[in-house]
């Protein structure tokens, strides 16, 4: 499941293959942009912006190839003549240089925009957890703009902070010991949760295994995907529900009813 760390790593790999190179091939397999051809132009850089990936080329007033991996997307870098590890019909974008071929497969989203429109395209995103503009105070301010919104949704909304996907939102709620439906303003230590988001993405950005438990094999996650196995900490069956709203897609929500009790349930339990 691509999240900010996956996209950060993809951008770095694409940057190594394309940054400063002249394109010898440009094949965009999306009907609307099928006639776009940047062959002969130079790519400046590939950068991640939250879960979005921008390949910038053609100089300062040039163009961007703006993509999003969504659920299944991935980018591969190949040598010339190397066999692709995915079927060619799934390729949405093929960029070649003298040394390499970069292929984007099953991208959930791909378009070409003038550089001048970049801000319109990704400017709405909140502080990028892995970006040079990371600003925890601003992320906190944005999260608290909707104090009643469940934290499980607020974390997923890229306008608050950019880079968290479904795995991290579930794991972060677990690590904070909060039920995902807890109103954002009632999360006991929200600044710490924001800090922890940054820490988890930083820790995972260099590796292909996404771990929140400190273990890189086997039990890498506390609750995500564990509805059959139970909570890694206490063994209670992990609850699986769907949670989304107008700004976020409906996605599976995993949580441990024991480690992450509802606050109203806690209040009830405390009654004499």
- Min CB(75)–Zn ion separation in Å: 36
- Min CB(234)–Zn ion separation in Å: 3
Q: Which is nearer to Zn ion, 136 or 237 (CB)?
A: 237
Residues designated as active site: 2-3, 51, 251
Nearest residue relative to Zn ion (C-beta): 231
Q: Does 219 bind Zn ion (CB under 5 A)?
A: no
| CA proximity to 128, closest of 67, 187, 198, 193 | 198
Beta bridge partners of 68: 52, 109
Burial of 108 (C-beta count, 10 Å sphere; 0-12/13-18/19+): middle
Considering only 94, 140, 231, 253, the residue that binds Zn ion (CB under 5 A) is: 231
Considering only 88, 116, 234, 267, the residue that binds Zn ion (CB under 5 A) is: 234
Q: Does 227 bind Zn ion (CB under 5 A)?
A: no
Question: Residue written as tokens 């990936």?
Answer: 53
Q: Does 232 bind Zn ion (CB under 5 A)?
A: no
SS3 track for 140-201: HHHHCCCCCCEHHHHCCCCCCCECCCHHHHHHHHHHHCCCCCCEHHHCCCHHHHHHHHHHHH
- Min CB(217)–Zn ion separation in Å: 21
Length of the chain: 272
Beta bridge partners of 104: 75, 93
Q: Can you read off the two tokens belonging to residue 66?
A: 């703006």
- Min CB(216)–Zn ion separation in Å: 21
Q: Which is nearer to Zn ion, 243 or 259 (CB)?
A: 259
| CA proximity to 155, closest of 126, 121, 177, 135 | 126
Residues 51-90, interacting with Zn ion (CB under 5 A): none
Q: Which is nearer to Zn ion, 136 or 225 (CB)?
A: 225
Residues 236-265, interacting with Zn ion (CB under 5 A): 236, 256, 258-259
Helix, coil or strand: residue 123 = coil
- Angle between the 190-204 and 136-143 helix axes, to the nearest 10 degrees? 130
- Min CB(236)–Zn ion separation in Å: 5
Q: Can you read off the two tokens belonging to residue 34?
A: 């099928």
Q: Which is nearer to Zn ion, 229 or 233 (CB)?
A: 233
Question: Residue written as tokens 């950019």?
Answer: 162
Q: Does 233 bind Zn ion (CB under 5 A)?
A: yes
Question: Which span (24-32, 36-44, 191-199, 235-243) binds Zn ion, by CB under 5 A?
Answer: 235-243
| Residues in touch with Zn ion (CB under 5 A) | 231, 233-234, 236, 256, 258-259
């Amino acid at each position: 499941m691509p999240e900010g760390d996956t996209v950060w790593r993809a951008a770095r790999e694409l940057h190594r293959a394309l940054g400063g190179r002249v394109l010898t091939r440009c094949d965009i397999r999306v009907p609307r942009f099928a006639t776009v051809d940047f062959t002969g132009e130079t790519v400046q850089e590939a950068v991640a912006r939250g879960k979005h990936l921008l390949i910038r080329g053609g100089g300062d007033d040039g163009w961007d190839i703006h993509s999003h991996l969504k659920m299944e997307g991935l980018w591969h870098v190949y040598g010339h003549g190397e066999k692709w590890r995915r079927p060619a019909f799934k390729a949405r974008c093929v960029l070649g240089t003298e040394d390499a071929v970069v292929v984007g497969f099953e991208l959930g989203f791909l378009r070409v925009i003038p550089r001048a429109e970049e801000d319109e395209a990704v400017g709405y995103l909140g502080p990028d957890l892995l970006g040079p503009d990371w600003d925890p105070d601003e992320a906190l301010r944005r999260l608290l703009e909707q104090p009643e919104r469940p934290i499980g949704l607020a974390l997923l909304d890229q306008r608050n902070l950019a880079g968290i996907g479904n795995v991290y939102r579930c794991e972060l709620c677990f690590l904070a010991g909060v039920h995902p439906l807890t109103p954002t303003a009632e999360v006991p230590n929200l600044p710490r949760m924001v800090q922890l988001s940054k820490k988890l993405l930083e820790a995972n950005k260099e590796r292909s295994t996404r771990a929140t438990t400190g273990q890189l094999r086997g039990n890498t996650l506390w609750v995500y995907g564990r509805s059959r196995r139970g909570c890694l900490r206490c063994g209670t069956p992990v609850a699986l529900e769907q949670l989304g709203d107008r700004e976020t897609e409906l996605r599976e929500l995993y949580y441990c009813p024991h480690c992450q009790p509802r606050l109203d349930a806690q209040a009830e339990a405390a009654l004499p």
